[in-house]
Amino acid sequence: MPKQALSHQTNMPKTKVQLEYVLRSKSRSIIWNFIATPTGMSKWFADDVERRDSTLIFKWGKEEQREAKIKHYYEGDSLKMRWKDETDTGCYVEIRLDQNELTLDYVLTIIDFAEENEVNETKDLWDSQIDTLLRISGI
């Protein structure tokens, strides 16, 4: 999870959370650089992000660190990753960029999973992080 990572260690089935955000930028490459590269993600998703082969390493503060295995990465389109400490094999985080055919606006879709009692918290956390992304990037 962004900034303050939530640890998902229980055996309860998780709920899929899908969120969509309309972006102002008309440049797919600018948006993609912010939402799916280590440099860009370090500005809104975590304090620091590193990529080592197919692993992304996210750092928050001085001590918290979490790793995610990249399941697929399609340049300019989507990034799907699975937290290495996630015990539910069906859970992942996907960041996808689509374009509305009518308005030509880009739409950022986030797919995540949360415990039933954490769905609202997960949505609030993503909303906060996307607000930060929009504020620092202007997209």
Q: What is the pLDDT of residue 11?
A: 62
What confidence tens digit (pLDDT) does each residue in 37-49 have? 999 999 999 999 9
Structure tokens at 56: 């992304």
Domains parsed from the chain with CATH numbers: 15-137 (3.30.530.20)
Output the tens digit of pLDDT for each of the chain's 139 residues: 544 444 445 567 899 999 999 998 889 999 999 999 999 999 999 999 999 999 999 999 999 999 999 999 999 999 999 999 999 989 999 999 999 988 889 999 999 999 999 999 999 999 999 999 999 998 8
Check: CB of residue 56 under 8 Å from CB of residue 49.
Answer: yes
In this structure, the strands spanning 55-60 and 15-23 are unpaired
Structure tokens at 119: 């769905």
70 DSSP β-pair partners:
81
**C-alpha closest to that of 70 among 49, 84, 60, 86:** 84
Give 13's Cβ-side CA count (13 Å radius). 2
Tokens 């989507």 belong to: 78
Tokens 């993609």 belong to: 32
**Strand ordering across the sheet containing 55-60:** 15-23, 106-114, 93-99, 78-83, 64-74, 55-60, 48-52
